[in-house]
């Protein structure tokens, strides 16, 4: 709804639900800050960061009571939305402050408590998603703590939403280079997590594990680790099949796009042809515009790309070669006409 609001209405909304008030956090974590005007977005971001960090620090400075986790999780949710929406516009000081609080919260987590307490599981999931945003900024000691806890927690068969958050974090682990001094403490655990999650019998977890591993394998500079994540021949085959299906979907999408362009061009050409049948007194003489030439050229290029993809998949019909020769002749005629114009 905020995307459709005028700037003054957005300001009024922010005044009615002040971001700096903790009681309004449940409202703001459902809002994309990208909908706000740049000036208002900056103000709201600063206020949300301030109140979110304050809530987290208040919990950290207290007795770590589980009953107070609901308000802190609300604060973490807002910080997550803020970081996701603000992107590069987030001030460096704000990033450092958020990362510092997230690290302190992670250090408090105990695997036995997380395994048994839903509120702590939510905290862990929010922290994983938040830390993923700052994956390039994580300190070595924090990385060790993250993987130590995840490895221990996975052995306790956590709920699916916890595993999904772990996979979201793991998918981004291809971006940073793990310092040599901690590789021995991180890389084996990273491979072990992928081995376990790729072998999951739960379809949802297995599918997300395939996607996360694919992203990790494409981005990581630790190429030697990739084979270690594929523990069995069965897992290797599943990954290969997944990659093949992904490429097939991409190729199909390209073909469908080319066919759609061809259909649209045909409709446009039919419209031009119908207008040409009208009496001269009823229509004005119009020359084709550059946009039409460009659209026609792109459609031809798309059709050729679709043909190339089809030829890669199997034996073409016998008549195709002759048809392509006719098309080549037609292209030559068009080329000569273009030169003479």
Q: Judging by beta carbons within 10 Å of its beta carbon (0-12, 13-18, 19+), is residue 50 exposed, middle or buried?
A: middle
**C-alpha distance from residue 309 to each of 60, 62, 99, 269, 320 (Å):** 57, 62, 46, 26, 14
The residues near 204 (Cβ < 8 Å, ≥ 6 apart) are 160, 164
Average confidence (pLDDT) over 188-194: 95
pLDDT of residue 335: 81
pLDDT, tens digit (0-9, with 9 covering 90-100), for 30-49: 888 888 888 898 899 999 99
Taking the complete model, does pTM exceed 0.85, yes or no?
Answer: no
Confidence of residue 284 (pLDDT cuts 50, 70, 90): very low
Which of 105, 145, 136 has the alpha carbon at shortest distance from 122?
105
Are 127 and 168 in contact, with CB atoms under 8 Å apart? no
Poorest-pLDDT segment among 1-15, 24-38, 270-284, 306-320: 270-284
pLDDT of residue 50: 93
Confidence of residue 282 (pLDDT cuts 50, 70, 90): very low
pLDDT, tens digit (0-9, with 9 covering 90-100), for 300-331: 777 777 777 777 767 778 788 888 888 888 88
pLDDT of residue 245: 72
- Highest average pLDDT, of 187-201, 236-250, 306-320, comes from 187-201
């Amino acid at each position: 709804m905020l995307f459709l609001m005028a700037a003054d209405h957005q300001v009024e909304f922010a005044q009615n639900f002040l971001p700096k008030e903790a009681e309004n956090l449940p409202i703001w974590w459902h809002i994309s800050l990208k909908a706000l005007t740049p000036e208002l977005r900056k103000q709201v971001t600063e206020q949300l960061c301030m109140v979110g960090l304050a809530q987290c620090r208040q919990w950290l400075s207290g007795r770590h009571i589980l009953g107070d986790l609901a308000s802190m999780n609300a604060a973490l949710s807002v910080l997550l939305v803020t970081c996701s929406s603000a992107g590069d516009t987030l001030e460096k000081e704000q990033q450092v402050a958020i990362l510092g609080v997230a690290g302190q919260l992670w250090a408090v987590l105990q695997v036995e408590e997380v395994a048994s307490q839903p509120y702590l599981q939510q905290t862990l999931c929010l922290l994983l998603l938040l830390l993923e945003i700052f994956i390039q900024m994580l300190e070595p000691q924090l990385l060790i703590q993250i993987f130590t806890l995840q490895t221990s927690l996975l052995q306790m068969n956590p709920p699916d939403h916890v595993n999904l958050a772990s996979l979201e974090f793991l998918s981004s682990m291809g971006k940073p280079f793990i310092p040599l001094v901690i590789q021995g403490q991180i890389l084996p655990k990273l491979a072990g997590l992928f081995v376990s999650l790729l072998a999951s019998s739960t379809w949802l977890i297995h599918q997300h594990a395939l996607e996360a591993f694919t992203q990790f394998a494409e981005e990581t500079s630790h190429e030697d680790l990739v084979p270690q994540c594929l523990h069995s021949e069965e897992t290797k085959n599943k990954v290969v099949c997944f990659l093949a299906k992904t490429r097939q979907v991409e190729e199909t999408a390209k073909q469908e796009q080319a066919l759609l362009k061809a259909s649209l061009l045909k409709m446009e050409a039919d419209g031009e042809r119908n207008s040409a049948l009208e009496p001269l007194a009823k229509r004005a003489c119009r020359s084709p515009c550059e946009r039409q030439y460009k659209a026609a050229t792109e459609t031809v290029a798309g059709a050729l790309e679709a043909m190339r993809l089809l030829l890669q998949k199997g034996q073409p019909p016998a008549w195709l070669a002759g048809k392509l020769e006719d098309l080549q002749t037609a292209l030559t005629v068009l080329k000569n006409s273009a030169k003479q114009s």
